[in-house]
């Protein structure tokens, strides 16, 4: 893992001291709310429906056991004993007192964490493939580049007041688990025929009220040019992005309004003036950062674990867990374990302090002290010996964390919605809970197979509904919660934006409607191997409209 | 910030500056976490007076984001009319933390 150097440590400590002083001046009345609000937002402090909310950055979703224990401690000491993992690999505390914020940021700094740039019109936390450094299909580990981008973008003076927020995602595998095509900049690290590293660069993707798929501006940007090219993109956006209308201020609108060719030309011109200068990435510096992400000491093991196979044969629950929640590792004899934060009937993405401590202990024991947070609101233990899976499974089960539903219909992404969020128009969590209860039967879930349901409580789309195979958007219709269904969205390398199926459904009909969509799929799929998304792409909206609105 | 309505019952809500807790303004000018204790204004003039007091407390760094909310009365029991404000007054509609996990 990356460890702070004296520069990182210095600026985080300075920021904590600065914010401590700002909070004191606010509480004493020396500073007005109008003066204070932008300052608290720069430190990740929002005022939500019920209380202040603190959003903690988890750079590219990577945590150690020690850091997870600190999050558990903060939840226990300063909050209501739980935290919420978000769709941007961050953690949110929902019930924090303003007066406690400086002490919390001080505690975070002790474990090399902070909340800087988790809000505001700046470059936000850089996200990455949650299987980075472990996945069998990975070409290049994206984490060193995500870390380089983190360092470049942290307190970047030119990009602290952008027209709007700006999000980067990085992957290093052809199978896109980081949803790079719906980010302001999406990067796919890859190798050319000579083995050199470069990046496919996607620009102008995003969700929100105007969902757009990013345009690929470069197929293979040389590794050394990464920062100069990103700086060129940001500079063009900063100068030309709209500031007259916040709903049209993201780079996706600029790309859409100016056209891809014009924007690409502007970026290339800017890049030409930056290339070969201070922002060139020296190979030695890349190697220095990459060394922090060297693989842990893993043993030479046979690909098949006789111990695991015997345990699976004796325990159907373990077999189901391995089937869904263990992914292929690049090293034989190891697996990547998804720890589902989607138990049936519970809020997606929430973990209690006790669960965070349990995951920390299990990571230290079984996963080289590494934990990942996925944008799908789950946790990941990236380096687990197959031999250890039975014991790990038992440990997860004891903590209520062994739900074997990764990628299934109950592994639902949901934003906090109207239960917590001051922007929301409708509740998300209760809908997710009721859907997961409706589909609780594991045999049925496995029969349905891969199916991503994503729920947002407003058009800002934090629940990623636009890229849900089944997307659900909550709206307020004359004071009543209504839910609009979209179908066929996908955030992977085959990225697509879901299409609205028809009129929305009231809260008491939405779960039935989702079930009708799923039943329609089961009725029309060619065979159990044809996933929901594949079937949808074959048949389109019509059969689902007929199933949903037959009586209309 | 909501404007005073000409008709209907209104209360003033805000968040406590220090804790962020949702609070309602009481008839004695203090703030309570209980909407049941809120002062209810039945005229536009009363609502404006209520809001003016709340703004003074905002300026005095006691509360933030003061706003009028519409109230419905069931007998003598006031409750916010809209779902968003009911959730603010009563907390999330879903169990959370250890209470949810157990």
- Give per-residue pLDDT as tens, A266-285: 999 999 999 999 999 999 99
- Flag whether residue B96 sits within 8 Å of chain A, measured between CB atoms: yes
Report the C-alpha gap between A425 and A406 in whole angstroms: 28
Do A374 and A456 share a domain, yes or no?
A: no
| CB spacing of B20 vs A347 below 8 angstroms | no
**Contact residues on chain B for A94, CB-CB shorter than 8 A:** 96
The answer to whether the CB of A351 falls within 8 A of the CB of A82 is yes
**Contact residues on chain B for A99, CB-CB shorter than 8 A:** 18-19
Report the C-alpha gap between A467 and A87 in whole angstroms: 12
Flag whether A119 is in a domain: no
- Flag whether residue B101 sits within 8 Å of chain A, measured between CB atoms: yes
- Residue A230 phi/psi, 5-degree rounding, is -65, -40
Do A419 and A374 share a domain, yes or no?
A: no
- How is A466-497 classified by DSSP, letter by letter? GG-SEEEEEEEETTEEEEEEEES-B-STT-BP
Do A287 and A321 share a domain, yes or no?
A: no
Of A51, A81, A430, the CB nearest to B20: A51
What is the structure's pLDDT at B5? 42
Reported as half-sphere exposure (CB side, CA atoms, 13 A), residue B49 has a value of 12
**Contact residues on chain B for A81, CB-CB shorter than 8 A:** 97-98
Flag whether A503 is in a domain: yes
What is the structure's pLDDT at B98? 86
pLDDT band at residue A552, thresholds of 50, 70 and 90? low
Q: What is the mean pLDDT of chain A?
A: 97
Flag whether A121 is in a domain: no
Do A285 and A320 share a domain, yes or no?
A: no
Do A287 and A196 share a domain, yes or no?
A: yes
Do A149 and A284 share a domain, yes or no?
A: yes
- Within 10 angstroms of residue A344's Cβ, the number of other Cβ atoms is 17
- The CA-based dihedral angle spanning residues A239, A245, A251, A252, taken in that order and rounded to the nearest 10 degrees: -150
Q: What ranges make up the beta strands (E) of A97-241?
A: 127-128, 168-171, 185-191, 197-203, 215-222
Percent of chain A with pLDDT over 90: 98
Q: At how many degrees (to 10) do helices A429-438 and A507-524 cross?
A: 40
Flag whether A405 is in a domain: no
CATH number of the domain residue A174 falls in: 3.30.413.10
Flag whether A120 is in a domain: no
What is the structure's pLDDT at B100? 84
CATH number of the domain residue A393 falls in: 3.90.480.20
The answer to whether the CB of B23 falls within 8 A of the CB of B64 is no
Of A49, A82, A400, the CB nearest to B87: A49
- Flag whether residue B99 sits within 8 Å of chain A, measured between CB atoms: no
Do A223 and A280 share a domain, yes or no?
A: yes
Do A203 and A279 share a domain, yes or no?
A: yes
Of A29, A50, A430, the CB nearest to B61: A29
- Give per-residue pLDDT as tens, A33-55: 999 999 999 999 999 999 999 99
**Contacts with A341 (C-beta within 8 Å, 6 or more apart), sequence order:** A85, A348, A349, A350, A351, A377, A378, A379, A401
What residues make up the domain containing A141?
A: 134-292
| Tokens 């098949």 -> residue | A304
* Average pLDDT for A96-121: 96
What is the structure's pLDDT at A551? 73
- Give per-residue pLDDT as tens, A455-507: 999 999 999 999 999 999 999 999 999 999 999 999 999 999 999 999 999 99
- The tally of domains found in chain A comes to 4
Q: Which of A347, A366, A398 is the last residue of a domain?
A: A398
- Which residue of A71, A349, A352, A356 to mutate against B (max B Cβ within 10 Å)? A352
Flag whether A265 is in a domain: yes
Do A454 and A535 share a domain, yes or no?
A: yes
| CB spacing of A47 vs B100 below 8 angstroms | no
CA distance A19 to chain B (A): 15
- Give per-residue pLDDT as tens, A296-314: 999 999 999 999 999 999 9
Do A152 and A260 share a domain, yes or no?
A: yes
Of B58, B61, B88, the CB nearest to A49: B88
Q: Which residue of A has its CA nearest to B89?
A: A50
CA distance B12 to chain A (A): 15
| CB spacing of A27 vs B93 below 8 angstroms | no
- Residue A472 phi/psi, 5-degree rounding, is -130, 125
pLDDT in single tens digits along all 102 residues of chain B: 444 444 589 999 999 999 999 999 999 999 999 999 999 999 999 999 999 999 999 999 999 999 999 999 988 899 999 999 999 999 999 999 988 876
| CB spacing of A82 vs B17 below 8 angstroms | no
Flag whether A343 is in a domain: yes
* Average pLDDT for A241-255: 96
- Give per-residue pLDDT as tens, A116-169: 999 999 999 999 999 999 999 999 999 999 999 999 999 999 999 999 999 999
* Average pLDDT for A517-535: 98
- Which residue of B8, B17, B22, B24 to mutate against A (max A Cβ within 10 Å)? B17
Q: Which of A257, A292, A327 is the last residue of a domain?
A: A292
- Within 10 angstroms of residue B59's Cβ, the number of other Cβ atoms is 12
Flag whether A118 is in a domain: no
- Give per-residue pLDDT as tens, A359-410: 999 999 999 999 999 999 999 999 999 999 999 999 999 999 999 999 999 9
| CB spacing of A50 vs B20 below 8 angstroms | yes
What is the structure's pLDDT at B3? 44
Taking 50 as the threshold, does the pLDDT of residue A543 lie above it?
yes
pLDDT band at residue A550, thresholds of 50, 70 and 90? confident
What is the structure's pLDDT at B102? 64
Report the C-alpha gap between A542 and A520 in whole angstroms: 11
Do A166 and A229 share a domain, yes or no?
A: yes
């Amino acid at each position: 893992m990356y460890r702070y150097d004296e520069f990182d440590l210095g600026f985080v400590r300075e920021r904590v001291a600065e914010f401590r002083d700002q909070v004191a001046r606010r509480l004493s009345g020396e500073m007005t709310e109008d003066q204070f609000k932008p300052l608290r937002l720069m430190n990740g402090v929002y005022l939500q429906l019920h209380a202040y909310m603190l959003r903690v950055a988890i750079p590219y979703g990577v945590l150690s056991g020690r850091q997870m224990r600190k999050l558990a401690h903060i939840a226990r000491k300063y909050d209501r004993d739980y935290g919420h993992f978000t769709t941007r690999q961050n953690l949110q505390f929902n019930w924090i007192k303003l007066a406690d914020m400086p002490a919390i940021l001080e505690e975070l700094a002790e474990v090399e964490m902070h909340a800087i740039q988790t809000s505001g019109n700046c470059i936000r936390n850089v996200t990455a493939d949650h299987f980075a450094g472990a996945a069998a299909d990975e070409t290049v580990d994206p984490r060193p580049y995500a870390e380089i981008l983190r360092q470049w973008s942290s307190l970047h003076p030119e990009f602290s007041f952008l027209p709007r927020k700006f999000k980067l995602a990085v992957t290093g595998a052809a199978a896109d688990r980081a949803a790079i095509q719906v980010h302001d900049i999406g990067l796919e690290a890859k190798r050319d025929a000579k083995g050199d590293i470069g990046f496919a660069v996607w620009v102008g993707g995003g969700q929100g009220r105007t969902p757009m798929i990013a345009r690929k501006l470069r197929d293979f940007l040389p590794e050394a040019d990464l920062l100069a090219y990103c700086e060129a993109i940001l500079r063009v956006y900063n100068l030309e992005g709209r500031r007259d209308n916040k709903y049209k201020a993201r780079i996706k609108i600029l790309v859409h309004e100016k056209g891809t060719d014009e924007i690409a030309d502007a970026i290339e011109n800017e890049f030409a003036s930056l290339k070969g200068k201070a922002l060139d990435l020296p190979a030695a510096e890349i190697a220095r950062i990459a060394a922090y992400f060297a693989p842990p000491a893993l043993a030479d093991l046979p690909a098949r674990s006789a111990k695991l196979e015997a345990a699976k044969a004796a325990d159907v629950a373990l077999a189901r867990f391995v089937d869904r929640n263990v992914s292929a590792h690049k090293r034989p004899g190891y697996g990547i374990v998804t720890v589902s934060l989607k138990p049936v009937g519970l809020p997606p993405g929430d973990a209690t302090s006790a669960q965070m401590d349990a995951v920390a202990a299990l990571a230290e024991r079984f996963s080289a002290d590494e934990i990942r947070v996925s944008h799908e609101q789950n946790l990941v233990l990236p380096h687990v010996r197959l031999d250890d899976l039975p014991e790990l499974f038992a440990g997860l089960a004891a903590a209520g964390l062994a739900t074997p539903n990764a990628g299934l219909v109950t592994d639902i992404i949901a934003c906090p919605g109207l239960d917590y969020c001051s922007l929301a128009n409708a509740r998300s969590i209760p809908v997710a809970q009721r859907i997961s209860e409706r589909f609780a039967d594991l045999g049925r879930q496995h029969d349905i197979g891969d199916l991503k349901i994503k729920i947002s409580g407003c058009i800002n789309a934090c629940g990623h509904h636009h890229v849900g195979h089944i997307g659900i958007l909550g709206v307020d219709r004359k004071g009543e919660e209504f839910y609009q269904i979209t179908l066929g969205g996908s955030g992977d390398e085959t990225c697509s934006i879901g299409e609205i199926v028809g009129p929305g459904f009231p809260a008491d009909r939405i779960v039935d409607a989702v079930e009708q969509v799923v039943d329609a799929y089961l009725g029309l799929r060619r065979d159990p191997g044809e996933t929901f998304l594949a079937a949808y792409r074959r048949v389109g909206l019509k059969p689902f409209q007929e199933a949903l609105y037959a009586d209309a | 910030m909501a404007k005073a309505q000409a008709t209907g019952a209104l209360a003033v809500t805000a968040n406590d500056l220090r804790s962020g807790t949702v609070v309602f303004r009481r008839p004695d000018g203090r703030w309570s976490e209980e909407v049941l204790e809120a002062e209810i204004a039945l005229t536009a003039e009363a609502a404006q007076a209520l809001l003016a007091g709340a703004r003074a407390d905002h300026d005095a760094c006691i509360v933030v984001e003061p706003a009028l909310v519409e109230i419905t009365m069931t007998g003598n029991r006031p409750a916010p009319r809209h779902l968003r404000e009911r959730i603010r007054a009563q907390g999330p509609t879903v169990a959370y933390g250890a209470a949810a996990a157990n």
